[in-house]
Amino acid sequence: MKVYINGKYYDAKNARISVFDHGLLYGDGVFEGIRAYHGRVFKLAEHIERLYRSAKAIMLEIPMSREELTRAVIETCRKNRLRDGYIRLVVTRGEGTLGLNPNRCSHPAVIIIAGKIQLYPPSMYEEGMAIVTVATTRNLSNAINPAIKSLNYLNNILAKIEANIAGVEEAIMLNAEGFVAECTGDNIFIASGQRLLTPPLSAGALYGITRGVVLELARKEGLETIEQNLTRYDLYNADECFLTGTGAELVPVVKIDGRVIGSGKPGPITWKLIERYRELTKASGEPIF
């Protein structure tokens, strides 16, 4: 594997950053997870744009233009001969002194890793997964805004630990008001009749790229799409439920907190959207080769 770091490529065993990098010391940085399908990078422009928005929110100056960064992502895929896989794009505050002051960091670091990923077992996509709600509350918007895809993921990791303890792969996080925000790494949707509902960004949900794609696909299928606050009651009484994310794609949920959702099997709306999503990934994206 070849890893891009600040304009150069390194073998995986030699791909290193300084122990004084503030991305390591303080989680001071931003990142994107991107997918490649059939020799094309899916929704690359949208991911690059979200990266720049996250960086602007924390006053981090990315030392490359959007066009340069796009070319670097594609070239990293080429060097790794990646046709189907996962790309992790990271920008850190860079090497600095001990202490929080970001002004003492000399130069931001840009890192691109292109490899493979499998978040969930294949059986979960066919049979659906069980998830739970957890006690860890989603970050407040006026603390660490969930809209910022930052390197500080401890909030999500604490919730993931609770999921692991409960014996499931994912966990639902509620916001301080008790409304559903999102899962530890995925957005959440429910279907009720011909309506598709998902929490609004103001509830603490990340502006998911896959989330946006699914909303668009649902509208094309004639579904009414609604972004509104949801409670656990709404989830328990849904006809269908599924999660979305770059790594997860679309994965059905058939049980929440021990309650069976709908028929206990992935529903027709979920299957239809999975089918449409897979069709889209075959036909679009920035070509690698």
Q: Which residues participate in catalysis according to the annotation?
A: 149
Task: Say if residues 201 and 147 touch (Cβ distance below 8 Å).
Answer: yes
Q: Which of 179, 178, 161 is nearest to 170 (CA)?
A: 161
Task: Say if residues 115 and 85 touch (Cβ distance below 8 Å).
Answer: yes
Q: Which of 1, 39, 5 is nearest to 112 (CA)?
A: 5
DSSP per-residue letters across 207-257: --HHHHHHHHHHHHTT-EEEE----HHHHHT-SEEEEEETTTEEEEEEEET
Region for residue 96 given its phi and psi (left: phi exceeds 0; alpha: psi -120 to 50; beta: otherwise): beta
Backbone angles phi, psi at 190, to 5 degrees: -130, 155
Secondary element (H or E) of residue 281: helix 268-283
Task: Say if residues 20 and 96 touch (Cβ distance below 8 Å).
Answer: yes
